[in-house]
Structure 1
Amino acid sequence: MLFKGFSALLPFLASVAAANPVSKPMKQPCSSDLKVQLRDGVVHGLVDSTTPGVRQFLGIPYAQPPLGDLRFAPPQPLAKPFGEFNATKPPVSCMQYATKIPNIYNQLVPQYLPYGLVGSPGPISEDCLTISVWAPRGTQKKNLPVLLFIFGGSFQYGAEEIPYLIPAEWVQRTQDHLVVSFNYRLNIFGYPNAAGLPTEEENPGLLDQRFAVEWVRDNIAAFGGDTKRIGLWGQSAGAISVGTYGYAYPEDPIVNTLLMDSGSEFYPAPVLYATTSDVTHSNFTFVASKFGCGGLNPAAELACMRKADAFAIENFLEVYQDSFTQPLIAFAPTVDGKTFFADYNARALAGKIAKIPTLIGSNAQDGSAFMPFSINGVNATVADAVTFNYFFCPAYKSAADRLAAGIPVYRYLYSGNFTNISPKPWLGAYHESELPLLMGTHPLFRGNSTEFEYQTSDLMQDSWLTFVATAGDAAAMSSKVGWPEWTNADSGLVRSFAPAPGVTASSLSLHDLEKLCPAGLQPN
């Protein structure tokens, strides 16, 4: 595959080895650390026996349920304090459907699906704007760095409750940071692009994300987090969200760093979603016509669709979209001039971007996950083209624009091909396959991990955490995790994780490949 031989381009410059994580003996604090006073009330958490050093607070409401007139609207603060809240059960997911089209996730690795379920998204509801916190035990732990994670899923599906994405194992290992994850609205409920909405309100799903960031700013200290050290981290659609976030809030980003796994603001969204050019709002109107809301003016159409049954809407989308019926319809972020923009390069050159350090990268075989499914493998040539044009080149473009804007940048390439994560060797380092190593869930399914896999996981965890904890300080990144800052678009070094069996990391120059990126993705 295209990136398979990267480790042979240059001799590796660094190799890091670490022992398997061993839980340190700790004093068992009293259960008072499972009771946390927040702005809107008291939340009660839990401790799982498999990660006894981690407090889990699951499904805390961070906004009003977007029901009735609040459907398709920007998120709103809770109408009243919730008083006492039992944050001990996995939260329901936002409205979505589980595609029946065979793919690597529903055929080989269901641990990336909500609740790990094939053929069902699990419990779903419009009342889904919740947030979860994983923190070390003990009330004495204060001012710890925070990673605020935005899950991916093509803006169509995803949830807090995904087996591979539960970060408890990571927090158990370090006892030195917090991880936060949250639900945000998806597909037509998150990105309606309805004519009856003000232009700046067309992407309520992205507005949910900002609302969650503000919630963390206002509440995370109560869990022991540092409000000055919050890293906004996303994967796939979550990484696209993180990439656009820096442009949407250049003067008040709240967070101190941005981390983008396999996605950026330059992901060719129109190719996949065909929504950024839907200036006539035809997708929403088409769906409205199926629910007795056709032929109405924009305001009446919107009011009518706010009364339609949410599950009926989702069921219609499942049948219609999975059958590829014409006309094709899709719902994802659209250009609104507030959260999503038409020309990111121009905004970067104009300085309309948050000047905060950015970590960005992709996987060596990202594209293998998007091929027509076959148990015997995929067309490697096509998969490599998807990897190159949809992930590697957009990441390079995003990094180059940020570098030109004077922003510290760190780039990576993940190449791990571990059998308990990639059960078929042709999968390689497919889309999302780095997340089990970062979350620490890699040994929990399909057998234990190898020593090399643990070493790679430890190094990646320490790298992401050091980046947030030090705000991308070049000296700390170099001394603690051996990761050089990407300082030159022509010759900067890229961190390569697991570039070859037995090599946890190396530093590579990928400029010869970057020169092959489409002209439209080159720095201007």
Structure 2
Amino acid sequence: MYRLRFALFLLLLSSTIATAKPTGLNYLLDACQVLTSSGIVQGHVASWPENTSVFEFLGIPFAQPPLGQLRFAAPQAYQQDTSSVFVADKCILDITVGEYLTKFQTDSWIRRDCMQYTGSASQNVSAQVAAYGYGMGGGNATDPHSYSEDCLTVNVWAKPTGQKNKAVMVWIYGGAFSAGTSNAPFYNGALLAEDEDVIVNLGLLDQRLAVEWVRDNIAGFGGDASRITLFGESAGGSSVDYYSYAWTEDPIVTGFIAESGTAFILHATNESDYSGWYNISEALGCGGEEVGEQTIQCVRDVNATALMNAVGQQASGGISTTFGPVADGKVVFADVKNRSAAGDFIQRPLFVGNNDNELGLILALGDSLFGGGNPGNLSTPDLIKFGSAAEFVCPAALTAKDRAVNGVPTWRYRYMGVWNNTALVPGMGAYHSSEIPFVFGTNELRPNSTTDTPEEANLAKIMVHAWAEFAKDPQNGLNGLNWPQYNPNGTTLIRLGYNNQSEPNIGNGTDYDGLCSILGP
């Protein structure tokens, strides 16, 4: 499986604001420097929001570059003389949103993505679709991404004011385990750090090593290593859930937020199925099954661009490739459904949910985004309905039920907001990933975006606050907002953006789970 860049949104959260600078950013604060196991990292005042007091540290290496013998190998912790200084860009003071977008387009400090197959997206898309793609880190014709295998880095956003020992949020982005980037305006953690006084993180073994880096270094940024919440969306949400099964003996994290993704959403391939690998090794002239493990060294020696071209030739369509989670019995388990029912997971609080019309994204991007698979030859409305239920609704329902039945504090949400300035085409509803700008409060970073409605802006504030409150106190934070813990037999589903209302509305999960008895997770 290819590595995805992991960006640390070290959103340092605290419940009160103070004016004095604590010792959190404890190493030469005036020079934007913090001492870490990766050396002294030098950050800068965040580029956005305007007049922020947040510092950002971009591209800090947490693992050795996966080059040469480390390609297709377990990650190794980054080794650096702690007296050396890693410059995570220069200090930037006052900057407007427009200037921020320009800087985002032109500067190199946030544009180095991991090698990945990007598909062949159509250039004939609407301005809104293009803006959505850019916001999610897709780049554009005038702003192409650069790719490198040297990409195992973290981004940190932290505010030097406020409480000491702030809660920490670690973000894992999505991308079907094949693509994705932390270089996305919608994933900017500065507002969470500014308004909610938290520390946030972006970016299966690579992710674990990044979490260990956070545990070992977050105190230097003012964070509390005993309060780390792992959150992610789509494949990132699945990664969050996979983590909860893999590291039961040494959890590190204290809470989980899984948005539109669980361990059930993407079905792990069997450990004995090497066909995808051998198809690629043969395409690269390294032989196939007949030479077995010898293919590994050969592929390690192949030029990265040639490797990506070979991956693209084997792609199933859209962003999907033959690489993905493999049930190895150590990090990913084939019997995850049984483990879920038995409570064999990290029993820490969970906030899980999905969007109202996940596969409505097909209406804007085409079903090729998901590989064009439609074995039942369903109409588009039925494909959206059944696909959304099978891949998102039912897995979230089962995950929430099993956690609740096993006595784990659990909350389940359903995002339902439909807004004119976020709709990509008419009729697509609350589509896959449309909640992300509301979680991060980054809607204004959408290029050419119109002003949010009052209800939309207020909902974003509520969601930013709720996600942060969960991270500050996973056991009780959402109780303080009067959001009910999930009961599969009760009216406890938290509906966000219901009828475009800004205030949460409580419904019954069974109203949306009708297809689950047929489809299963």
Output the CA distance in 1 between the equivalents of 2:425 and 2:129.
Answer: 14
Q: What is the match of residue 311 of structure 1? A: 305
Output the CA distance in 2 between the equivalents of 1:90 and 1:26.
Answer: 30
User: CA distance change for structure 1 residues 56 and 438 in 2, over 3 Å: closer, same or farther?
Assistant: same
User: CA distance change for structure 1 residues 394 and 284 in 2, over 3 Å: closer, same or farther?
Assistant: same
Report the more deviating stretch, 396-405 or 67-76. Answer: 396-405
Q: What is the match of residue 92 of structure 2? A: none
Q: What is the match of residue 514 of structure 1? A: 513
Match of 1:461 among 453, 460, 464: 464
Structure 1-normalised TM-score?
0.82
Output the CA distance in 2 between the equivalents of 1:154 and 1:119.
Answer: 25
Output the CA distance in 1 between the equivalents of 2:39 and 2:20.
Answer: 28
Output the CA distance in 1 between the equivalents of 2:46 and 2:436.
Answer: 21
User: CA distance change for structure 1 residues 28 and 118 in 2, over 3 Å: closer, same or farther?
Assistant: farther
1:301-327 superposed Cα distances (whole Å, 9 cap, x missing partner): 111111011111112323552779xxx
User: CA distance change for structure 1 residues 338 and 49 in 2, over 3 Å: closer, same or farther?
Assistant: closer
1:411-470 superposed Cα distances (whole Å, 9 cap, x missing partner): 000011122222433222111110101111112321221211111011111111111111
Give the secondary-structure state (helix, strand or coil) at the position aligned to 2:391.
helix
Query: Which stretches in structure 2 are left out of the alignment for 5+ residues?
Result: 1-16, 23-27, 90-108, 368-378
1:383-415 superposed Cα distances (whole Å, 9 cap, x missing partner): 122211211111001111112222111000001
Match of 2:333 among 334, 338, 341: 341
Match of 1:450 among 449, 453, 461: 453
Give the secondary-structure state (helix, strand or coil) at the position aligned to 1:426.
coil
Alignment of 1:62 with 2:62, yes or no, is yes
Q: What is the match of residue 183 of structure 2? A: 161
Q: What is the match of residue 253 of structure 2? A: 255
The Cα of 1:344 is off from its aligned counterpart by 1.6
Task: Among all aligned residue pairs of Structure 1 and Structure 2, give the percentage whose two residues are the same amino acid.
Answer: 33
Q: What is the match of residue 97 of structure 1? A: 117
Alignment of 1:290 with 2:291, yes or no, is no
User: CA distance change for structure 1 residues 418 and 58 in 2, over 3 Å: closer, same or farther?
Assistant: same
User: CA distance change for structure 1 residues 136 and 79 in 2, over 3 Å: closer, same or farther?
Assistant: closer
User: CA distance change for structure 1 residues 252 and 116 in 2, over 3 Å: closer, same or farther?
Assistant: same
* Pairing of 1:170-181 with structure 2 (within 5 A): 170-174=192-196, 176-181=197-202
What is the root-mean-square deviation in Å for CA atoms of aligned residues?
2.7
Which residue identity is paired with 2:389? F
Report the more deviating stretch, 93-102 or 226-235. Answer: 93-102
User: CA distance change for structure 1 residues 238 and 292 in 2, over 3 Å: closer, same or farther?
Assistant: same
Output the CA distance in 1 between the equivalents of 2:317 and 2:499.
Answer: 41
User: CA distance change for structure 1 residues 513 and 157 in 2, over 3 Å: closer, same or farther?
Assistant: same
Q: What is the match of residue 53 of structure 2? A: 53
Query: Which stretches in structure 1 are left out of the alignment for 5+ residues?
Result: 1-23, 183-205
Report the more deviating stretch, 216-225 or 343-352. Answer: 343-352
Alignment of 1:413 with 2:414, yes or no, is yes
Total equivalences in the alignment: 460
Output the CA distance in 2 between the equivalents of 1:151 and 1:166.
Answer: 12
Q: What is the match of residue 425 of structure 1? A: 426
Give the secondary-structure state (helix, strand or coil) at the position aligned to 2:326.
coil
Output the CA distance in 1 between the equivalents of 2:48 and 2:121.
Answer: 34
User: CA distance change for structure 1 residues 122 and 490 in 2, over 3 Å: closer, same or farther?
Assistant: same
Q: What is the match of residue 200 of structure 1? A: none
Output the CA distance in 2 between the equivalents of 1:335 and 1:26.
Answer: 50
User: CA distance change for structure 1 residues 107 and 322 in 2, over 3 Å: closer, same or farther?
Assistant: farther
Which residue identity is paired with 2:158? A
Give the secondary-structure state (helix, strand or coil) at the position aligned to 1:316.
helix
User: CA distance change for structure 1 residues 257 and 388 in 2, over 3 Å: closer, same or farther?
Assistant: same
Output the CA distance in 2 between the equivalents of 1:126 and 1:110.
Answer: 23
| Contact map agreement 2:169 2:200 (CA 8 A) in 1 | yes
Q: What is the match of residue 36 of structure 2? A: 38
Q: What is the match of residue 473 of structure 2? A: 470
| Contact map agreement 1:358 1:409 (CA 8 A) in 2 | yes
Q: What is the match of residue 187 of structure 1? A: none
| Contact map agreement 2:271 2:328 (CA 8 A) in 1 | no
The Cα of 1:379 is off from its aligned counterpart by 2.8
* Pairing of 1:16-415 with structure 2 (within 5 A): 32=30, 34-51=32-49, 52-81=52-81, 83-88=84-89, 89-90=109-110, 92-102=112-122, 107=130, 109-114=132-137, 116-117=139-140, 122-138=145-161, 141-174=163-196, 176-182=197-203, 206-267=204-265, 269-270=266-267, 276-277=269-270, 279-295=272-288, 297-321=291-315, 330-370=322-362, 373=365, 379-415=380-416
User: CA distance change for structure 1 residues 440 and 122 in 2, over 3 Å: closer, same or farther?
Assistant: same
Which residue identity is paired with 2:114? C
Which residue identity is paired with 1:459? I
Q: What is the match of residue 436 of structure 2? A: 435
1:315-366 superposed Cα distances (whole Å, 9 cap, x missing partner): 2323552779xxx961100101111111222213443211100000000011
User: CA distance change for structure 1 residues 247 and 216 in 2, over 3 Å: closer, same or farther?
Assistant: same
1:207-255 superposed Cα distances (whole Å, 9 cap, x missing partner): 0011111111001111011111110001000001111111101121100
